[in-house]
Amino acid sequence: MKITSEVFQVGGGRLTSPEDAAIYLIRFGDRAALVDAGCGGSREKLLSNIRGHQVKLEQIEYLLLTHCHFDHTGGAGALKAKIPFKIVAHELDAPFLEEGDDEVTAATWYGASIDPFPVDIKLSGARQDLLLEDRLIHAIHTPGHSPGSVVYLIESEGMKVLFGQDVHGPIDPKLLSDRGAYRKSLELLLSLGADILCEGHYGIFKGKDEVAELIEHFLKRS
């Protein structure tokens, strides 16, 4: 599914498996990155979808994890066996992935257990930039849904594209969620003025007004 000439949805729903959160592909020149990895049960279908956008697996430099939950990360370890990318996550969520914490990662919600895997790049602080080809990917810490939730912001075709995978939450103490931090993070997302929002479960929203309307909806509900 094409979003811009450089951004594609390659996983989630009918593209891979219903339990997968959305998986996005960013392609800048000869280099690429994936945003999230799904649960892992449809790896070959995901790889086929990636190749369908004329991206070779060895071109993928990063797996950008938005947070530690199983529907976004369960497939990361198995994908790394096929793709020599660097796994990126915030340092506040990384321990749950590296230790294989089934409760905080919500693997138990899926009747599964997460296979531990190392995080190659641990993001820290409020904001950190990654270089892909000669372009910047901005990683912005947005805690609340999980302690180390992150959104990624890029520019494509003159538009701000925001990968905000779980704008909708939920907030649950077993996930170490923080409602106050979640509200502040939603306010931060509004301030970014994104033209396109690629969400994890609610789809793709285009136009500043439509993006803001979705974020405001969940801010009012929180």
Q: Domains of the chain: which residue ranges?
A: 2-221
Q: Residue 54 has which token pair? A: 């004329």
Options 3.40.50.12280, 3.30.1330.10, 3.60.15.10, 2.60.40.10; CATH for 2-221 is 3.60.15.10
* Banded pLDDT at 222 (limits 50, 70, 90): confident
149 with 160: CB under 8 angstroms?
no
Q: Is the pTM of this model over 0.85?
A: yes
CA distance 155 to 185: 20
Percent of the chain topping pLDDT 90: 96
- The number of CA neighbours under 13 Å toward the Cβ of 207 is 4
Residues in contact with 209: Cβ distance below 8 Å, sequence separation at least 6, in sequence order = none
Average pLDDT over residues 170-192: 96
CA distance 186 to 196: 15
Percent of the chain topping pLDDT 70: 100
Could you tell me which of 170, 161, 160, 195 has the C-alpha nearest to residue 9? 161
Give pLDDT tens digits for 14-35. 999 999 999 999 999 999 999 9
* Per-residue pLDDT, 168: 86
One-letter identity of residue 163: F
Q: Residue 60 — φ and ψ, nearest 5°?
A: -85, 115
Q: Cα torsion for 14, 16, 17, 19, to the nearest 10°?
A: -100
Name the packing angle between helices 208-221 and 179-192 (round to 10°): 170
Instruction: Tell me how many helices (H) and strands (E) the chain has.
Output: 6, 13
Whats the size of the chain, residue-wise? 222
CA distance 25 to 3: 10
Give pLDDT tens digits for 30-61. 999 999 999 999 999 999 999 999 999 999 99
Q: Residue 139 — φ and ψ, nearest 5°?
A: -100, 120
